[in-house]
Amino acid sequence: MNYIVIHHKITLKSTLQHILRVLKKFIKMKKIVVFFMFISCTISFSQEKQTAFGVKAGLNYGDNGKIELNDITSTNANDRIGYHFGVFVRGGITENLYIKPELLYTVNNSTYNLENSKKEYSVKKLDLPILLGASVLGPIHIFGGPALQYIIENNLEDVKLNSVKNDFTVGLHFGIGLQLNRINFDVRYERGLSKNKAESIDNDIKVDSRPEQFIIGLSIDL
């Protein structure tokens, strides 16, 4: 009887802890969405005649950082294809300069060759790039800027991982694009700047979750 009571208490405690973790993640996700909406509204009100809203999607090709085993050996990630989709607002500053915050749901994928086995690692996150761009030759434009990143989930195949050390990190985006009427095509490079590792439950495995990848995107002004 005592065993059953103790078991139920442990189960209830674990369930409550899981619910609290989910609520904390939801609150943090809500903050980044609210921040994007604040920036969008500010741009919209200040640049009413030169503002465009739109949607975008595309593919990512790259990897996360190294994986460490028992603090002794480390292995680089193999490049894999991921994807992203989201929304943006673009506000003109001058005739040739613009600011463009984006809110993107992104999935990064990598693989690691470990002890004669291949393990897949995926990171799901919300990205908030805040880009400053300039038209340089007709429809061609260049851009760059910081990207706030909130990691929603990370999974390593057949390994129980703790959450990453920092949910919020900072990265950098820069690239070149082609704007044809309402359609924009761009290619960019992303690099995570903040060190951010996830450890296995027994601390035998550590994975660097910083992305380094090339991104191809297609966006449409609505």
What was the pLDDT predicted at 18?
Answer: 46
What was the pLDDT predicted at 131?
Answer: 95
What was the pLDDT predicted at 136?
Answer: 93
Mean pLDDT of the chain: 80
Angle at 136 between CA 131 and CA 140, to 5 degrees: 75
Cβ within 8 Å of residue 5, ≥6 positions away: none
User: Residues 153-169: pLDDT tens digits?
Assistant: 888 877 777 666 777 88
Which of 162-198 are b and which e, b meaning 16 or more Cβ less than 10 Å from the residue's Cβ?
eebeebebebebbbebebeeeebebebebebeeebbb
185 band by pLDDT with thresholds 50, 70 and 90 = very high
User: Residues 44-84: pLDDT tens digits?
Assistant: 666 556 788 999 999 999 877 777 776 556 677 777 889 99
188 band by pLDDT with thresholds 50, 70 and 90 = very high
Which of 110-129 are b and which e, b meaning 16 or more Cβ less than 10 Å from the residue's Cβ?
bbbebeeeebebbbebbbbb
8 band by pLDDT with thresholds 50, 70 and 90 = very low
Nearest-angstrom CA–CA distance, 52 and 49: 9
Higher per-residue confidence, 79 vs 141: 141
Say yes or no to pLDDT of 121 above 60: yes
CB-hemisphere CA count at 13 Å for 83? 5
Are residues 53 and 87 in contact, defined by beta-carbon separation less than 8 angstroms? yes
Nearest-angstrom CA–CA distance, 220 and 179: 10
Listed range (28-42, 152-166, 202-216) with the worst mean pLDDT: 28-42
For residue 109, which of 130, 128, 125, 85 has the smallest C-alpha distance? 125
What was the pLDDT predicted at 219?
Answer: 97
Amino acid at 177: G
Phi and psi angles of residue 63, each rounded to the nearest 5 degrees, phi first = -155, 175
Q: CB burial class (10 A; 0-12, 13-18, 19+) of residue 79?
A: middle
Q: What is the pTM of this model?
A: 0.78
For residue 154, which of 118, 109, 213, 190 has the smallest C-alpha distance? 109
What was the pLDDT predicted at 133?
Answer: 95
Domains along the chain? Answer: 2-221 (2.40.160.20)
Say yes or no to pLDDT of 9 above 50: no
28 band by pLDDT with thresholds 50, 70 and 90 = low
142 band by pLDDT with thresholds 50, 70 and 90 = very high
Nearest-angstrom CA–CA distance, 147 and 172: 6
